[in-house]
Amino acid sequence: MRSKDLAQIALFAALMVVLGFIPAVELPLAPAPLTSQTVGVLLAGSILGARRGGLALLLFDLLVVVGLPVLPGGRGGLGVILGPTGGFILAWPVAAFVVGLLTERLWHRYNLGTALACNAVGTLTIYAIGIPWSAVVAHLPAWRAIEVSAVYVPGDIIKLIICSVVAVRVRRAYPLIEART
Amino acid sequence: MIELSGVRHRYQDREVLGGIDLRLTERRIGVVGLNGSGKSTFARLLNGLLIPSAGTVTVDGLDTRRDGPKVRRRVGFVFQDPDVQIVMPTVAEDVAFGLRGLPKPEVNAKVKAALAEYGLSGYEDHAAHLLSGGQKQMLAMASITVLNPSTIVFDEPTTLLDLRNRQRIADRIKTMPQDAIVISHDLDLLADFDRVLVIHEGKIVADCLPEAAIEKYVAIAETT
Amino acid sequence: MLGLHHPGHSPLHRSPAGVKLLTLLAVSTVVFFLEDLRILAGGLLLAGSLYAVAGIPWRTAVRQSTAVVPVTLLFMAAQWVLVSWHAAAAIGLRIAVVVLLANLVTLTTPTSDMITAVERALGPLRRFGLRPERVGLAIALTIRFVPVIAEQARLVRQAQRARGVRFSLAFLTPLLVRTLRMADGLGEALDARGWESSAQ
């Protein structure tokens, strides 16, 4: 790994921390975490690619586990991971990796449309891991867990549009991904 | 001694440096040139931060292509933007960064000496990013000298500083025991150097004493 | 938040970083499952008194913890509306306890000690190809980047306001490009300062 890669990985982990200070205003009354941090997850994958993006989120999750209050509302520690929203947090590195992988494959054809597709798959990845996890931890039937998570959908759609627009612009200004076929 | 032979460097299909042969032995060497002339690339070739597309750069006989780490221990580098070169959160930790692996008392002694040398005693636990621009550049120099290089390359060390801080850094560069290679637009800084190179469009167009070199540089600036 | 070391010689300053981190990990896990407001309030009191033991001025303590206040209030409001005041109070207290303790650990532990502790804990993963010292450096860089990003965000917003742009998401693009450029510069600086990557 080059030193630059290491610095970029740390940069996106730090971006996650900063995003944790910003409440996601579009969903002020959602029952569980209000977060802008999914923006950081999708951007890490879209801008750094699979490997570096996934590692950036893994690094961030390590900070969470160590107990540093880097999640919204100053949460952190194993308790959060073991709690009902823990699956979402563990899903982030996977989602960043998936988004990165798709972005690398589509790099030559990367535009708003393909960016939206990549980020949508990333968001679905987060649901696919986070929702079953919360069903198990909170002893909810699966359909009920899906219902509860439905409150996130409008916000997540807005977030994935924002990320796609930004990712396309950053690609033009400062491309860092190498295409993979 | 740093030696360049047949050095060329290109980014994609654009040649930024072409055909450079030099032996750098003087204590104080300045490098001037317009923006985009290839100065920064030249600086980064000297300690292997960049590897030339063709030709070789050697430091005391070590090829930067093969012995990057060893070369960088001999040739330190201070960047233009003091903000990018601070690695650790506090001043003392930042100076200690390059010394990992040494016993703690030795690290502490070296850090203390380096901070004293650069006027930063008492700032040990200060947040590095909250220092003034001049102090940050001093910190960068302290962090590099602690690694004990024989030469330090400066890439426009005073460009982002105010007049007072510029003066401090300039004085420090003049008096420090290490050899210095200074890339700069700051012609006063280079006035009593031993040798000044003028780079224009990727070539060395003058290599002489400061006065003549600066004259040449001013002429280039006026005609292009 | 990811605050800076406040030097001192209290028992808290002297205890090893690994012990403090493990305790923090344990406490933050337990607190997460606590519901009883009296126990939580007791925890808060205890956390507060530990600041006194460490000799941290209250000003420093408050300054360290203010960043999480807006988000916490939002959380509490949501809980109040959707569940009960009891749930709101519990979540507020939980956050307060964990944030105060986590900040106490950062205030009494030099970053480099904290990183050494994490590196040691990750040591057994070496056989899977993990390089703990790289993880340690990555954590240090993350901590260093947090204030830098916040500062750059402020500058980008100012620049946009100067050009008559009110807050807009256009703000993320220049912020990312600027900070990515800084990251690349930092990567170069790491090499210049003798941090050698395996590629070379």
**Residue A153 forms contact with C (CB below 8 Å):** no
Rounded to an integer, what distance in angstroms lies between the CA atom of residue B32 and that of residue B22?
15
Rounded to an integer, what distance in angstroms lies between the CA atom of residue B31 and that of residue C13?
49
**Residue B80 forms contact with C (CB below 8 Å):** no
Range of the domain at C15: 11-121
If asked whether residues C115 and C82 sit together in one domain, one would say yes
Which of C82, C97, C121 terminates a domain? The answer is C121
More confident: C165 or C32: C32
Q: Of the ranges A13-27, B19-33, B35-49, B84-98, which one carries the lowest mean pLDDT score?
A: A13-27
The amino acid at B59: V
Residue in the structure block whose two tokens are 């993979």: A180
Q: How many domains does chain C have?
A: 2
Tell me the whole-structure pTM to 2 decimals. Answer: 0.81
Rounded alpha-carbon distances, angstroms, from residue A4 to A1, C181, C185: 8, 10, 8
If asked whether residues C32 and C104 sit together in one domain, one would say yes
Most confident option among A97-106, B152-161, B181-190, C71-80: A97-106
Contact between residue B205 and residue B33 where contact means Cβ atoms under 8 Å apart? no
If asked whether residues C86 and C27 sit together in one domain, one would say yes
If asked whether residues C188 and C165 sit together in one domain, one would say yes
If asked whether residues C181 and C85 sit together in one domain, one would say no
Q: How many domains does chain A have?
A: 1
Contact between residue A49 and residue A103 where contact means Cβ atoms under 8 Å apart? yes
List all residues of chain A from 80 to 109 with a beta carbon under 8 Å from chain C. Answer: 80, 82-83
Residue B65, φ and ψ in degrees, nearest 5: -70, -35
If asked whether residues C38 and C106 sit together in one domain, one would say yes
Rounded alpha-carbon distances, angstroms, from residue B115 to B103, C24, C189: 18, 34, 19
Contact between residue B71 and residue B47 where contact means Cβ atoms under 8 Å apart? yes
If asked whether residues C143 and C164 sit together in one domain, one would say yes
CA pseudo-torsion sign C55, C58, C62, C64: negative
If asked whether residues C109 and C141 sit together in one domain, one would say no
Report the half-sphere exposure of C147 (CA within 13 A, side-chain side).
Answer: 18
Give the pLDDT confidence score for residue A44 in this predicted structure.
97
If asked whether residues C38 and C104 sit together in one domain, one would say yes
CATH number of the domain where residue A114 is located? 1.10.1760.20
Which of C87, C102, C121 terminates a domain? The answer is C121
Q: Can you tell me the ipTM of this complex?
A: 0.88
Report the half-sphere exposure of B103 (CA within 13 A, side-chain side).
Answer: 2
If asked whether residues C137 and C111 sit together in one domain, one would say no
Residue C109, φ and ψ in degrees, nearest 5: -130, 125
Q: What's the angle, vertex CA A12, arms to CA C72 and CA A7, rounded to 5?
A: 135
Range of the domain at A58: 3-180
**pLDDT, tens digit, 9 for 90 and up, residues B8-37:** 999 888 889 988 999 999 999 999 999 888
* E-assigned strand segments in C10-136: none
Residues C194, B93: C-beta atoms closer than 8 Å: no
Residue C5 lies in a domain: no
If asked whether residues C151 and C192 sit together in one domain, one would say yes
Q: For chain C, what percent of residues have pLDDT higher than 70?
A: 88
Pairing of strands B28-32, B179-183: parallel
Which of C89, C105, C121 terminates a domain? The answer is C121
If asked whether residues C138 and C112 sit together in one domain, one would say no
**Residue A7 forms contact with C (CB below 8 Å):** yes
- Which chains lie within 8 Å of chain C at 3 or more CB pairs, if any? A, B
The radius of gyration computed from the CA coordinates of chain A, to the nearest angstrom, equals 16
Element holding B30 (H helix, E strand): strand B28-32
Q: What's the angle, vertex CA A55, arms to CA A51 and CA A56, rounded to 5?
A: 115
Count of CB pairs separated by less than 8 Å, A with C:
199
